[in-house]
Structure 1
């Protein structure tokens, strides 16, 4: 929080990001609600979910083009304006004679273009944050930003559901558009002072091809002892965290002793605790564990993941909720620390490509592990799925511990100084 309060340009950049996040959540709820009223609502909701997921899976590509962009801040401003115009169009479409599937397909297409633009904008933002706060403070800065963003997303979902009672779909699309306009104005106010501070600096961009860039990124990450292992471990932990929710939902559905009130309230509570844990880990945990090694955090998280599965097997809902809170908390701490290490390990010219590739790995791990463990639960037994999850957690712990000891022997300073 200290960086947010002291660094004016970082504060503007962060506020712009939060505005965009809140607007997106509000409109996403509106679009899903509209789609749920169609005749074939299952297909409509599936299409929305797929088009929302695709941009996250191509972050390495959007990051690559971000690295090749010279005037990153100027492009961010233009992207905010483009997204403002796109959602103005959506707002107008909702008050025309177009309705039903025709309207949904058009809006899904526009929303998809906006999400692609958002991923590109995110890639452009990362190097700017490093410039604004410094490489040594990126963990605290990113942790605070993502933590508050998680809280805003949670609040926006409740606010959005309430606004739908009073506002039309068109109104919410226009509100979303206005958030991008406000974000664009904040970016413009950064532009003037940022350009003054960096006017004499030579702008370096990535000039390599896409696959050459990914290879360079991989080689540089590999040179940082232990970083590649930590990335793999955190990807698996994210996958475990995502897989636990449907597994817990299955157990809760079959055991009334696991209920807190109703089934829907219990599931909502689990989701809320997960979000709060991630938010607190990112915003506060990064400061509490500022001196702790990333290896230490990942080892703690593997222990907690096994504990979560044991609590579910024991059908103890209170212990389950406590472990979920701890699991998501340490996951929230680990992610910014990993970004900090990545920033110090790769060239600035391929930073967005590297982070994009990393995020793609993290995004793929969740659905993949969810599919594996839920398939085991369906084909064999839910307890077998949970036991398998414990085995994976133990295996990950052993590998991470072995690599940590090995890298500490060869290199005393395993991670860059993050304090």
Structure 2
């Protein structure tokens, strides 16, 4: 919050990021509503849900483009203008008679806009590294994540209500969405002189004088892979985050399946219960990310993830043996709180460790590898719940959580022993 007040460049980037997040949040919900009204609504909703992952899978390539971009401040403007123009195009064709071809075109527009958004975010990372003091990076990332989470919560709710009040005028909604992207572009454009990649040096001068080594995508991938592999802390964090996502991405869906038959754990009814679960997670994330410099301030990110896994281990224990509503919502709130601590720490750690010209692609590769854990977890846990029963699925969940925790602790202990051995064997001065 302190940097937001004092740092003009960061304040402009933050405001532009929030305006872009509003645009993304608004239409993601509205597009699902649009899909539900198509004659082929089941297929449409399935396609719309599946394509939400495409930008994440393209993150390394998009990150590479962002890293290789000269005059990043100009392309932050252009990318948001392009997003706005895409939604102007969407608004002009969305009211045409429904057809699979039209739906696919709209789907491509939505995915292209999300990819441009990722590109813009990748361009911002270098500025965060340059403009934010190292000791304040954790707090800044926490503040940004809490604000983005709040924006998504508020505007997704507004979008669902507003499209009904507007009598499903998707064309008008598309134009409103475009205005947020144009506003984000305007904010960046007006404050271009406040951005720098090297303190005290205008970026245009840097771009003119810089001898930038242009690397191919393959070369950038190889370089980034070596960088992550050489840094034990980053490598351990990547592995821990992968397994955390494997478990974390499935517990919500698995919990929903279990709650269908566990009416004793309902708050009035099933629908209200799963809605409250979502609210508690969001509140936990907000509190955790907003108080990033509070509890667990001095903990390493992988240790917070290990604590989160201990908390997540309580879900199967509660569902299988206790079935307490109080324990369920306490676990959900605490899980969200720890998630709010983890994500900003990961972003901050990468900003501190990764070279400026490899930040975006490193972030993209990291997110892609962690994302892979999601579908694997869905196949294991939801597959076993449908083939056998949710009880067996929760038992597998519990066993895997314990095994992952033991493996992580052993890895951490072995590394500490290696470091101690290296120190003891080093020549004494």
Q: In structure 2, the residue corresponding to 1:207 is in which secondary structure?
A: coil
**Equivalents in 1 of 2:345, 2:211: separation in Å?**
25
Q: For each residue in 1:301-333, what CA deviation from the matched residue of structure 2 results, as whole angstroms up to 9, or x when unmatched? A: 121111122122232222112112212221221
Deviation of 1:251 after TM superposition, in Å, equals 1.0
- Larger-Rg structure: 2
- Match for residue 354 of structure 1? 362
Rate the CA distance shift 1:210–1:102 in 2: closer, same or farther, 3 A. Answer: closer
Query: How many residues end up aligned between the 2 structures?
Result: 411
**Equivalents in 2 of 1:322, 1:300: separation in Å?**
15
Rate the CA distance shift 1:37–1:61 in 2: closer, same or farther, 3 A. Answer: same
Between 1:332-341 and 1:364-373, the stretch displaced more is 332-341
- Match for residue 415 of structure 1? none
Deviation of 1:288 after TM superposition, in Å, equals 3.5
Residue 252 (structure 1) aligned with residue 253 (structure 2): no
Aligned counterpart in structure 1 of residue 372 of structure 2, from 345, 364, 378 = 364
**Equivalents in 2 of 1:47, 1:351: separation in Å?**
31
Rate the CA distance shift 1:109–1:400 in 2: closer, same or farther, 3 A. Answer: same
**Equivalents in 1 of 2:211, 2:136: separation in Å?**
22
Question: Contact between 1:295 and 1:400, CA under 8 Å: does it hold in 2?
Answer: no
Deviation of 1:98 after TM superposition, in Å, equals 4.1
Q: 1:313-392, aligned counterparts within 5 Å?
A: 313=320, 314-392=322-400
Q: In structure 1, the residue corresponding to 2:291 is in which secondary structure?
A: helix
Q: 1:114-263, aligned counterparts within 5 Å?
A: 114-167=113-166, 168-194=169-195, 197-199=200-202, 201=206, 203=210, 205=212, 207-263=214-270
Question: Contact between 1:67 and 1:205, CA under 8 Å: does it hold in 2?
Answer: no
**Equivalents in 1 of 2:200, 2:81: separation in Å?**
24
**Equivalents in 1 of 2:4, 2:155: separation in Å?**
21
Q: For each residue in 1:158-215, what CA deviation from the matched residue of structure 2 results, as whole angstroms up to 9, or x when unmatched? A: 1111111222212211111000011001111231222594325464655222222222
Query: Where does the alignment leave 5 or more consecutive residues of structure 1 unmatched?
Result: 413-419
- Match for residue 426 of structure 2? none
Could you tell me the TM-score, scaled by structure 1's length?
A: 0.92
Aligned counterpart in structure 1 of residue 411 of structure 2, from 397, 403, 414 = 403
**Equivalents in 1 of 2:232, 2:371: separation in Å?**
24
**Equivalents in 2 of 1:44, 1:404: separation in Å?**
46
Query: Where does the alignment leave 5 or more consecutive residues of structure 2 unmatched?
Result: 421-429
Deviation of 1:233 after TM superposition, in Å, equals 1.0
Q: In structure 2, the residue corresponding to 1:285 is in which secondary structure?
A: coil
Deviation of 1:299 after TM superposition, in Å, equals 2.1
Q: In structure 2, the residue corresponding to 1:326 is in which secondary structure?
A: helix
Could you tell me the TM-score, scaled by structure 2's length?
A: 0.90
Q: In structure 1, the residue corresponding to 2:90 is in which secondary structure?
A: helix
**Equivalents in 2 of 1:290, 1:71: separation in Å?**
35
Question: Contact between 2:240 and 2:302, CA under 8 Å: does it hold in 1?
Answer: no
**Equivalents in 2 of 1:236, 1:32: separation in Å?**
29
Q: 1:27-66, aligned counterparts within 5 Å?
A: 27-66=27-66
Deviation of 1:292 after TM superposition, in Å, equals 2.0
- Match for residue 301 of structure 1? 308
Deviation of 1:399 after TM superposition, in Å, equals 2.3
